[in-house]
Structure 1
Amino acid sequence: MSELDWYLKINVKARHLRLLVTIDTYRNLTQVAEATHVSVPAVSKSLAELERGLGLTLFERTTHGIVPTPYGECLIRHARTILTILHRASDDLKALNSGTAGKVHIGMLPASASMLLSTALNLLKQRSPGTNVMVTEGTTALLLPELWQGQLDLVVGRLPPTDTLGSFEEKELVEEPVMLMTGCHHPLARKKVLKWSDLRPYPWILPPPGSILRDPLERTLEAHDVPLTNNYIETLSMHVARAHLQVSDCIAVMAGTPVNDTGQRLHTLPLSLPQLLRPAGVLWNRNRGLTPSAKLMLTCLDEAAQSLSDASDRAVPSVSAARKGM
């Protein structure tokens, strides 16, 4: 066993890991001392002991404060992961001790699978009222690193491209069609026959650049010779998009259940879009074992997807009958 291996396995404690993360957070020893309620010399001494034991320089003092070296960045990254695991272990032990069933940490991608998740949460609470849930909404770029680090158990929403999955396991749950939407007052909503060229004069509500829907949408519009105007709003917020469609002549692209929400009346433009996105589903880290609570949530998501699919199948005949009566 090398000296580095020995020191990491025998001498490094949780307090050392917390010190590294705190220094990285503040980048100022005075602020670190205030946050940890010790003196600046004590902080410096603890850091020096850690660096001496590892035989590595973890931080450098610069005019911009104390910054991590590549060795420091590496150890800080692992320190954050270990501290997250310890925190989760504490939560699980407290849950067992108090008689509750644990806690599930779920990431939800915006503008996607909201009905799926809410239905699954209802099933979870019916079966295990003591299982609590923390839901964090964010982008793929934000949530997948947290899933990798163990801060999240599951991520629910539109599945990313398969070439980005890496160590993540996935399960497809719901096919959500992508549609072009307007408010019911929109001039295009009154047209019985609609051509792609009719879209050209109107402003747009777009997903931001880099989001999984933006590039395929732009390619589709370009294929139909519909250039995007300079008059647009970019947002991932379905609430903002739906509200703005009510008061503007914008066109928005929407996927899944928000389209069918009757709380705010919207109009679906009768233009056929190709399959721009992968289905909605759930992701987890195959290198980390799922807790019993996370496994139960996975089962509830699967059953929720099946119930939504069954409801959609039942709705199809009624829609067809209504059209025949028109």
Structure 2
Amino acid sequence: MSGLDWYLQINLKARHLRLLVTIDAYRNLSQVAEVTHVTVPAVSKSLAELERGIGLSLFSRTSQGLLPTPYGECLIRHARTMLSVLHQARDELKALSSGTEGKVHVGMLPATASVLLPQALALLKSQSPGTNVTVVEGTTASLLPELWQGHLDLVVGRMPPPDALGSFEERELLDEPVTLMTGVHHPLAHRRTVKWADLRDYPWILPPPGSLLRDPLERVLEAHDVPLSNNYIETLSVHVARTQLQVSDFIAVMAGTLANDPAQPLHVLPLALPRLARPTGVLWNRNRGLTPSAQRLLDCLVETASQLKNSLPSEPSPRRPRGKAQAST
């Protein structure tokens, strides 16, 4: 066994991991000493012992403070992951000792999981009241790194492209159509037939640039000669989109299940969209597996998705053009 192997397997402690992460966060020994409630010489000694044991320089001393070397960046990244695993173990042990059944950390992509996840959580709580859940909303770009680092157990929402999954396991839950929606009072909601050209005079609620639906939506509208005006709102918030559709003449692109809320009904425009994104699903880190509580929530998501499939609105069927004039609309 080499000296590096021996130190990492035998002598590396959780306090070393916390020291690395803290130094990386503050880059200053005085501040590290202050937040860890020890002296500066003690911090310096601990770092020197760690570097000596590993046999590599982890930080460079510069005028801007301590900067991690490539070796330091590598070990810090793994230190964050190991600390996250230890925190999860602590939470599970506390839950078991207190009589609860565990805790799940879930990331939610709000534009596509706002119906599925709440109903799955209600089912989970009816079956396992002691399983507690923390839900964090965000974008794919913000949630997937948290899932990879172990800060989240699951991410629920529109699944990203397969080449972006890396080490993530995925399960398709609901292939709900993406539709064009308005409020029930909207002028287009009272028409028996709607053409693409009819959309040109109305403002839009758009997913932000870089989101999964934005680029495909723009391509569809461009293909139908519907330019996006300067009058629009960009948001991933279902609440904001719903409210705006209720009080104005905006048009939005939203998941089909959102039209069925009796408290805030929406109107689906009879214009067929191609598949703009992958189905709604759930992701987890295949290298970590699932805790028993995360598995319970996954089972509830699968059962809820099965129930929701029966309530999905049918996708509008595109009209077959009868002549050149209709084909150009």
TM-score by length of 1: 0.90
AA partner of residue 257 (structure 2): T
The amino acid across from 1:102 in the alignment is G
Distance (Å, rounded) in 2 between the aligned partners of 1:45 and 1:61: 14
Q: Counterpart of 1:112 in 2: which secondary structure? A: helix
Residues 191 and 256 from structure 1, CA distance in 2 versus in 1: closer, same or farther, beyond 3 angstroms? closer
1:224 paired residue number: 224
Instruction: Write out aligned runs for 1:1-326 (5 A).
Output: 1-312=1-312
State the distance in 2 between where 1:27 and 1:249 align: 52
Task: Report the alpha carbon displacement of residue 211 of structure 1 after superposing the two structures with TM.
Answer: 0.7
Amino acid in structure 2 at the alignment position of 1:214: R
Match for 1:118: what amino acid?
A: P
Question: Kindly tell me: are residues 62 and 295 of structure 1, through their superposed partners in 2, closer, same or farther at Cα, counting changes over 3 Å?
Answer: same
Counterpart Cα distance in 1 of 2:72 and 2:278: 38
> The residue matched to 2:202 in structure 1 has which SS?
coil
- TM-aligned CA deviation for residue 78 of structure 1: 0.3
- Tell me the CA shift for residue 16 of structure 1: 0.7
Instruction: Report the CA distance between 1:254 and its aligned residue.
Output: 0.8
CA 1:97–1:65 in structure 2 vs 1: closer, same or farther (change >3 Å)?
same
C-alpha contact (below 8 Å) 1:84/1:151 kept by paired residues: yes
Inter-partner Cα distance in structure 2 for 1:195 and 1:309? 28
Does the Cα contact within 8 Å between 2:172 and 2:281 map onto a contact in 1? yes
Q: State the secondary structure of the residue aligned to 1:244.
A: helix
**Does the 8 Å CA contact 2:204/2:232 hold for their aligned counterparts?**
yes
Kindly tell me the number of residue pairs found equivalent between the two proteins: 314
Percent identity between the aligned chains? 75
| Deviation (angstroms), 1:220 | 0.7
User: Contact 1:113–1:257 at 8 Å: present in 2 too?
Assistant: no
Is the 8 Å Cα contact of residues 113 and 256 (structure 1) preserved in structure 2?
no
1:33-91 deviations in Å (ceiling 9; x for gaps): 11111122221221122122222221223343322222111111100000010111111
Unaligned runs of at least 5 residues, structure 1? 317-326
What is the DSSP-based 3-state SS (H/G/I as helix, E as strand, rest coil) of the residue aligned with 1:15? helix
Cα distance in 1 between the residues matched to 2:277 and 2:266: 21
Distance 1:162 1:15 in 2: 38
- Match of residue 324 from structure 1: none
